């Protein structure tokens, strides 16, 4: 672990086997590689399991209300454009309750990076249906399986003429680092979706260990280097502008 993580706060509160730990460690490595530190960067999170992310970083950080990480980040960036402002939060936080802010901050092309940890449900509150849940997903509030399509994050993130969208997983560490690094270096609004599953609440599939989860992600997702619309099981970077 590098010194961009608050060692004294370890172990993190996350469940055993939850990939958030891997993401945190690699995120800190990416920041170090880019020369970001407490002198020039601020991390902002919303509420949820992922919302705890900001508090583990060894730099000024803000843990906002549910869904409001993006507008708080936009306020910070607009007030002090010299700061590198990075949002790390959950899918429910960013695309459910906070969806409107995602639409408008991306349209205004605010120079921030948003990293969305998409575990396809509301983790912290116990595993309810999220806008990202797949058709058929059984959750605490969709016992018969979700009847509707999940929100199209790729579509939303590429709505504007100028855009940066990347999809990756914590099982593909080099790719995940590349996505985070390019997104943070991108001038303007950039969005990274990190696809994962909730080790504790996921019903389909069920995972026994973190290793099972990573292996599942590894076989499920394939990398493409092409700058084009990604298929359901593809990872890659789409950028324009």
Partner 1 sequence: MPKKLVDGNEAIVQGALRAGLGFYAGYPITPASEIMQGLSKSGIAFVNAEDEIASVSMVIGASLAGKKSMTATSGPGFSLMQEGIGLAHMMRVPVVIVNSQRVGPSTGMPTLAAQGDILQAYHGSHGDFVSIAFYPNSVEECYKYTIEAFNAAEEAKCPVYLLTDGMLSHLFESVDLDAVKISLKQRDLKPLGHGSRHFTGLLSKEGIPKTKDSIYYRQWYKSYKDELSNAADNYKFYEYIENNNSDTLVISYGILSRAVFEFKGEFALFRPIRIFPLLEEIKEISQKYKTIIVVEMNDSQYALLLEAFLKREIKKVPVLGGLVAIDELRKGLLNE
Ligand X SMILES: Cc1ncc(C[n+]2csc(CCOP(=O)(O)OP(=O)(O)O)c2C)c(N)n1
Q: Does 20 bind partner 1 (CB under 8 A)?
A: no
Q: Does 21 bind ligand X (CB under 6 A)?
A: no
From the list ligand X, partner 1, none, pick the one residue 54 interacts with, judged by a Cβ distance below 5 to 8 Å according to partner type: partner 1
Residue 46 CB, nearest approach to ligand X (Å): 6
Q: Does 74 bind ligand X (CB under 6 A)?
A: no
CA-based nearest residue to 75, from 38, 119, 53, 108:
108
Given a contact cutoff of 8 angstroms between Cβ atoms, the answer to whether 158 and 107 are in contact is: no
Stretch that binds partner 1, among 61-69, 124-132, 163-171, 211-219 (CB under 8 A): 61-69
Rg over alpha carbons for the chain, rounded to the nearest Å, is 16
Stretch that binds partner 1, among 68-76, 136-144, 186-194, 212-220 (CB under 8 A): 68-76
Q: Does 64 bind partner 1 (CB under 8 A)?
A: yes
Q: Does 87 bind partner 1 (CB under 8 A)?
A: no
Tallying the residues shown for the chain, one arrives at 241
Q: Does 66 bind ligand X (CB under 6 A)?
A: yes
Nearer to ligand X, 123 or 170 (CB): 123
CA-based nearest residue to 41, from 61, 65, 63:
61
Nearer to ligand X, 74 or 91 (CB): 91
Nearer to ligand X, 66 or 163 (CB): 66
Considering only 19, 26, 30, 74, the residue that binds partner 1 (CB under 8 A) is 74
Q: Does 139 bind ligand X (CB under 6 A)?
A: no
Stretch that binds ligand X, among 5-13, 87-95, 107-115, 219-227 (CB under 6 A): 87-95
Residue 92 CB, nearest approach to ligand X (Å): 3
Binding site for partner 1 (CB under 8 A): 6, 9, 38-42, 44, 47, 54-55, 57-65, 68, 71-80, 82-83, 100-101, 103-104, 108
């Amino acid at each position: 672990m590098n010194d961009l993580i608050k060692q004294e706060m370890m172990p993190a509160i996350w469940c055993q086997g939850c990939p958030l730990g891997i993401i945190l460690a690699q995120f800190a490595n990416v920041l170090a590689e880019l020369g970001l530190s407490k002198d020039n960067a601020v991390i902002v999170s919303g509420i949820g399991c992922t919302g705890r992310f900001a508090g583990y970083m060894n730099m000024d950080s803000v843990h906002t209300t549910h869904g409001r990480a993006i507008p708080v980040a936009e306020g910070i960036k607009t007030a002090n454009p010299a700061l590198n402002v990075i949002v790390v939060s959950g899918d429910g936080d960013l695309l459910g309750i906070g969806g409107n802010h995602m639409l408008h901050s991306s349209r205004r092309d605010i120079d921030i990076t948003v990293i969305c940890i998409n575990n396809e449900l509301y983790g912290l509150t116990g595993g309810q249906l999220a806008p990202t849940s797949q058709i058929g997903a059984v959750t605490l509030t969709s016992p018969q399986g979700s009847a509707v399509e999940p929100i199209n994050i790729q579509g939303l993130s590429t709505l504007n003429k100028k855009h940066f969208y990347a999809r990756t997983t914590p099982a593909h560490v080099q790719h995940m680092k590349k996505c985070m690094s390019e997104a943070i270096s991108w001038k303007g609004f950039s969005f990274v979706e990190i696809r994962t599953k909730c080790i504790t609440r996921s019903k389909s599939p069920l995972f026994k260990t973190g290793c099972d989860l990573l292996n599942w992600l590894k076989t499920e997702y394939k990398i493409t280097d092409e700058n084009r619309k990604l298929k359901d099981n593809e990872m890659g970077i789409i950028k324009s502008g």
